[in-house]
Amino acid sequence: MTQKELEQLFSQYGRIITSRILVDQVTGVSRGVGFIRFDKRIEAEEAIKGLNGQKPSGATEPITVKFANNPSQKSSQALLSQLYQLDNLLNMAYGVKRFSPITIDGMTSLVGMNIPGHTGTGWCIFVYNLSPDSDESVLWQLFGPFGAVNNVKVIRDFNTNKCKGFGFVTMTNYDEAAMAIASLNGYRLGDRVLQVSFKTNKAHKS
**Series of mean pLDDT values for 10-residue runs along the chain (206 residues):** 90 89 78 86 92 87 80 51 54 45 39 41 89 90 89 91 93 88 88 88 48
Single pTM value for the model: 0.43
Domain boundaries, the chain: 3-51, 123-198
Question: Residue 196: what pLDDT?
Answer: 93
Question: Residue 76: what pLDDT?
Answer: 53
- HSE of 72, CA atoms in CB hemisphere, 13 A: 17
Q: Assign residue 132 a region (left: φ > 0; alpha: ψ between -120 and 50; beta: otherwise).
A: alpha
CATH number of 123-198: 3.30.70.330
Residues in the chain: 206
Question: Residue 39: what pLDDT?
Answer: 85
Q: Which fold has domain 3-51?
A: Alpha-Beta Plaits (3.30.70)
